[in-house]
Structure 1
Amino acid sequence: MGSENSQNSHIFDYLRYYKELNQPPRYAVMITGPWGCGKTHLIKDFLTETIAPNQKNRATPDFLYISLYGISSREQIDEAILRALYPVLNSRSANIGRKFGRGILRFLRFEVNVDAWDLLDKYTPRMYFFDDLERASIDPEACLGYINEFVEHGDCKVIIACNYSEIKNKDSFDRTLEKVVGKTLEVKPSTSQALNVFIAEFNEDSSKKLLSSAAGELRSIYDLSGLYNLRILRQSIHDCLRLLQAIDEGVLPDINLRRRMVLEFFALSLEVKAGRLAEVDLIERDSLRSAHRLDLSGSVRTPRLEAADERYIGLDFHETVLDEKLLAEFLFRGSSSSPDFSKHIHHHEGVV
C-alpha cells in the first residue's frame, strides 16, 4: 500500500528498531488484526523498503516470507523454507518431498542419496516473516514451538502475522505465545489510503474520475458497513468499476444518477461480500418488505435489505437507480445478459 501510514507508523518504527538490534533479540514480534486489515501488505512493505534494497547481489536472502496457510506438519514448513531459499525448486520439474529425486539432485549437483533437509541451513536468513499462523492446519501452538527454534537456536529475528481473534484455544495458546513473542502490535486499517491506492490502480477514464470524486462518500459507506476488511473494500471498488464500464454514459448520462448508482451498488456489494445479503433479498425486495409490514403477529423477520437500509444513512435500497434484476445479476454473476440496460434504470423522483 505504498508505505507506512499515520495509524500504523508505530509498527514501522518498532520493526525498524527490531531489525537494527545488534544482538539476537531472542523473541519474535507478532502483528495482529482481523482478516483483510492489511497485516501482510504492511509487513511486506516494511521488508521491501528496509531490507530488499540491500540484498540485490547477495547469494542468499536476508529475509524469507513463509505462508503457513494450510500447512499440516513441520516437514511442510521445512519444505516451504527450502522452496523460498531455492526458488528453482518451484519449477514443475522439481517435485520435492522428504527425499530429493535423482533428477533434482543431478540438477543441483548433489550426491544421490542426500536428504534435502541435511542440505538446508534454515537459519541462514537473518529475518523471517511467518504469515497466516491462525490458518495453519497444524496446531498453532506447535507452529509457535517450531518458530521458537529460529528465535532461540537460530538467533533469527522473526515476525509473525496472526489474526488472534481466530485462535480457538486462547488460554493454551497464550501460555506458549508468551514464551516466544516479546511484542504484539495491532494493525489498524487505513481506509482513506487504501481507497486512494485501489482507485489509482485503474486506467484514466471517466469511470475512474467518478470514483475519485466520490471517494469521501465511498469511505463513509465503508465505515458504516463496520467490516474493516481491505480485501472486501478492494473487491467492491472493482465491482463498481465493472458496473460503470458496462453502463456507459450514453445509457445513463446524468452524472448525479451515475454517482448515486455507484454509491448504492458499492454498499450492496459490501453487504453481499459480508454474507449479509442473498440474491432473493434483492429479487423479492418489495414482496419481502410488504409481508413484513403487514405482519401483525411479529413472526416475519425483518428483511435483510431493511437492515441494510438502516445501516447506511442516506441510501434507500428499495428506490435504487438500477432495478433489482440488474443489481442481482451484477452482484451475484458479475455481469448482465440484458441487451438494453436502459430498461433497468429507475428515474425515481428521490434519486437526484
Structure 2
Amino acid sequence: MPDAKNQHLLDYLGYYLSLTHSPRYAVLISGPWGVGKTYQVKRFLQHHRPEPKKLLYVSLYGLSTLDEIRDALFQAAYPLLTGKPAKLFGSLLTAGLKYVKVDTSSISVGDVIGFSADVYVFDDLERYEGNKSTALGYINQFVEHEGAKVIIIANDKEIKAGEDYERRKEKLIGKVLEVQSSFDEAFSAFVALIDDKFTQGFFKKNAEEISSLYKQTKKDNLRILQQTMWDFERVCKALTDEHRGHSDAILTLLRLFFVLSFEFKSNQINADDLGNGRGLAAMVQAHVEKGKEPSPMRRVADRYQNVDIDDSILSSSVLVNCLVRGIVDPNEIQASLNASNFFVKVADEAPWRTVWHWTERTESEVLAAVGKMSEQFEQRAFTIEGEILHVLGLQLFLSDIGVIKSSKRQVVEDGKKYLDDLYKTKKLEATQRDDYALRFDGYGGLGIQSSDTLEYRELFQHLRESSAKALRDTYPDKASELLEVMKTDVQLFYRRLCITNSDDNIYYNTPLLASLDPDMFVLTMLDLPIADEHVVFMMFKSRYDHSQLDNDLSTEKPWAEAVKRKLLDACETCGPVTGKRIKMRVAYYMKAIPDVAAVSGK
C-alpha cells in the first residue's frame, strides 16, 4: 500500500533519478532519529525503475576522515576486494608499484583502481565524527565533477556545524525532503519480520491499540517501535499456552510493556525509575509529595491515561531484567503473570498476598484472608523479613480502615512482641539488608502498605535492631569457622575479610574477629607456614588501612590492639630471625592499629 505521508518524497526521488542530464545538486532526506529515513530511501531504490546502472550506498556513522569515506565507497564498489582478498590484492599492488619505483606511502587500492557510480547515497551524515563541512565539500565533487546524482540522509536539525557548513550545504543541496513518520506502513513491515506466529497474530489484531500508544509517545521514532516489538516477541515466547489464551491478560501486558519500553528507550525514564517508581509505595509517596515536581514515572502515568503503569502483571524486577538487562527468564515471567489478577487462584495464594491485592479481590475473599493471616501471625509463622514487614504494614492499613479492632498503637506493640519472640526462638533472619530497599521497594514484587507512617517506621527500626542482634549472636561460631579456614585455606581467609573482586568477601565490614580469643589467634597464626603467616599480616593492612577501625569495625579495635601487642610480646620468646621478621611485619602491616602503650600515655 503506498505511503501517503511520504508520497512527496517518493515522487521527487523518482523525478530526480529519471533526469536525463546531470542535475548538479544533491537531495537531502531529513527527519528525526528513528523516523524511517533510511527505510524510505532503501524501499524507494528497491522498487524504482529503471534501476540505476551503478549505485553506491555508504553509512558515515563512526567515520571521521575523508580517507575512511573513500575506503567505505571502495568497499561498496568492490565488495569482493575487502577483508583478506583486499589485503592480498593490496600487497601485490604495493609490490608492483615499488618495483617500478613509485612511492606507495600515501596510495591506497582505491586510488589506483578508482570507483564511479550514477547514484551515491550517503547515510548518517549527522553521525560523521569528522568535520561535516569538509565532508560536504568531498561529496560535492561527485555532483560537480562526475555529474552524479547524490542523496544525503541526515537528521539535519541535529547538525550544529557553523556558517561554513551552512554555506556548503546551500551550494550542494538543491532539495530538502522531510520524512514523516508513517506508522501504518512501518508497522506492517515490522509485523512481517516477527517469527513467532502467536505474537505476529496478536500484533495484527491489536494494531489500533499499538498505534494509539505509539502516537501518545509524541516521539515519532519507528526504530524504537520495532525494537519494542522484537522485545515483546521474546516475552511472548516465554509464556505458556494458558497465558497466551487469556487475551485480556496479554493486552494488559502489551500496554504496560510497550509504554515503559517506549519511555525507557527514549531516555524519559531509567532503570531506577523502573525498579522503584511503580506500585503502591510509589503511588503513596507521590500522594505525600503532592505539589512537588512529579517523578519521571508519574509523568509517564499522566501521559498514558488509559494505561495502568502500576499494574503488577509484570513485577518491577522482571521489567528491569527485560528492558534494561535484556534478560528474559521464562520462569520469572510466568511466575509474575501467575500472581496477577488474571491467573491467580485465591485458594492457592498466600493470605497476606490476597489482603495486599484487596482492590482486586472480593470482600469475602479479603476478609477470609485477613482471618488466616491473623492465625498465622499468632502462630509466629512469618519468619522472612519481607513477609513480616508486609504483614505489619497490612495490619496498620487494616486498623486504619476498621477491618481489625486493634488500634495502630496496639499493632505496633503486638508487632514488637512478635519480633522479640522470633529472636528468642532463634527464628529471626540474621541478615544485613538494605534499609531503603526493604522500606520502599517492598518484597516479592509488591510495595509495602503503610510504609510512609511513623508506626511502620518504628516497627521497621525494631526489626533492624533485632535482626542486627541476631546477626551478632552468630559471630562466635562464624569466627571459629574462620579460624579453621585460616589453617586450611589462607587465601580464602583473606578474601573473606577484605574487599576484593571476589564474592567471597562477606565479612569485610563485619567485626567478626572480635569474637576470637587474641591468644588463640596469635598461636594459630604463628604456627602457620611463613608464606601463610605473611598473608594474614597482609589481611590486617587491607582490612584496617582505610580508617575502618573507627567506623564499621570499631568494636573490633580492642581485639586488633591486643593481637598486635601479643605478636610483639611473642618476639621476646622466639629466635632472633623470627623475632625480627615479626617486628618488621607488625610495623608495616599493622600500622593502622593503635599502639596500646602509646594510647595510654605510657
TM over 0.5: yes
Correspondence for 1:247:
239
Gaps of 5+ in 1: 56-60
- Choose the corresponding residue for 1:288, options 282, 293, 296: 282
C-alpha distance in 1, partners of 2:72/2:332?
51
Match of 2:13 in 1: 15
- Post-superposition shift, 1:350? 7.1
Backbone CA RMSD of aligned residues: 2.7
Write out per-residue CA displacement over residues 97-127 of structure 1, whole angstroms, 9 at most, x where no aligned residue.
xxx73236689xx9895743442444x2111
Structure 1 residues 266 and 121 mapped into 2: Cα distance closer, same or farther (>3 Å)? same
Does residue 141 in structure 1 map to residue 133 in structure 2? yes
> Residue type matched to 2:112 in 1?
L
CA contact (8 A) 1:252 1:342 kept: no
Residue in structure 2 matched with residue 119 of structure 1 by the alignment: 112
Q: CA deviation at 1:252?
A: 5.9
The amino acid that maps onto 2:36 is: G
Deviation at 1:157, TM superposition (A): 0.8
The answer to whether the 8 A contact 1:288-1:303 is kept is: no
Aligned to 2:259: 267
Whether the aligned pair in 2 keeps the contact of 1:132 and 1:162 (CA below 8 Å) is: yes
In the TM superposition, what is the alpha-carbon distance from 1:250 to its structure 2 partner?
A: 2.0
Query: Which stretch shows the higher mean deviation, 169-178 or 156-165?
Result: 169-178
Give runs of aligned pairs for residues 206-217 of structure 1, distance below 5 A.
Answer: 206-217=198-209
Cα deviation digits, residues 211-263 of structure 1 (max 9, x gap): 21111100110110112111111000111111111122324642111111112
Structure 2 residue 57 is matched with structure 1 residue 65: yes
Q: Indicate conservation of the 8 Å contact 1:78/1:117, yes or no.
A: yes
The whole-number CA distance in structure 2 between the counterparts of 1:31 and 1:214 is 32
Instruction: Kindly state the Cα deviation for residue 165 of structure 1 after the two structures are TM-superposed.
Output: 1.2
Structure 2: give runs of 5+ residues left out of the alignment. Answer: 343-358, 362-602
Going from structure 1 to structure 2, the CA distance change for 1:118 and 1:268 (only over 3 Å counts) comes to: closer
Residue 50 of structure 1: how far off its partner (Å):
2.1
CA contact (8 A) 1:279 1:328 kept: yes
1:27 aligns with 2:16: no
State the partner residue of 2:189: 197
Change (3 A) 1:275 1:46: same
Query: In the superposition, relative to structure 1, how do residues 318 and 137 fare at CA in structure 2: closer, same or farther (>3 Å)?
Result: same
Indicate how the Cα distance of structure 1 residues 83 and 223 shifts in structure 2: closer, same or farther if over 3 A, else same: same
Higher RCO (C-alpha 8 Å, min separation 6): 1
Q: CA deviation at 1:35?
A: 1.1
Q: Which has the larger radius of gyration?
A: 2
Residue type at the aligned position of 2:211: R
Find 1:316's aligned residue among 285, 308, 321. 308
The percent identity for this pair of structures is: 33
Q: Aligned partners of 1:226, 1:315: CA distance in 2, in Å?
A: 16
The answer to whether the aligner puts 1:183 opposite 2:181 as a matched pair is no
8 Å contact from structure 1 (residues 94, 104) kept in 2: no
Q: CA deviation at 1:332?
A: 1.8
What is the alpha-carbon distance in structure 2 between the residues aligned to residue 64 and residue 338 of structure 1?
A: 44
Deviations 1:122-153 (A, max 9, x none): 4x211111111111112111111111111111
Distance 1:171 1:188 in 2: 27
Choose between structure 1 and 2: higher helix proportion. Answer: 2
- 1:37 is matched with 35
Distance 1:328 1:295 in 2: 25
Query: What is the deviation of 1:28?
Result: 0.7
Asked if the contact 2:22–2:149 (Cα under 8 Å) also holds between the matched residues in 1, the reply is yes
Mapped to 1, the partners of 2:216 and 2:56 lie a distance apart of: 38
Match of 1:128 in 2: 120
Over 3 Å counting, the alpha-carbon distance change for 1:342 and 1:11 in structure 2 is closer
Are the structure 2 counterparts of residues 249 and 262 from structure 1 closer, same or farther at C-alpha, using a change threshold of 3 Å?
A: farther
Aligned match of 1:92: 84
Per-residue deviation, 1:203: 3.2
Distance of aligned partners of 1:151 and 1:252 in 2 relative to their CA distance in 1, 3 Å threshold: closer
Q: Distance in 1 between matches of 2:87 and 2:263?
A: 42
Deviations 1:22-54 (A, max 9, x none): 211111111100111111121122222226x75
CA deviations on 1:191-224 (whole Å, 9 max, x unpaired) are 1111121112123622221121111100110110
**Contact (CA 8 Å) 2:269, 2:297: kept in 1 or not?**
yes
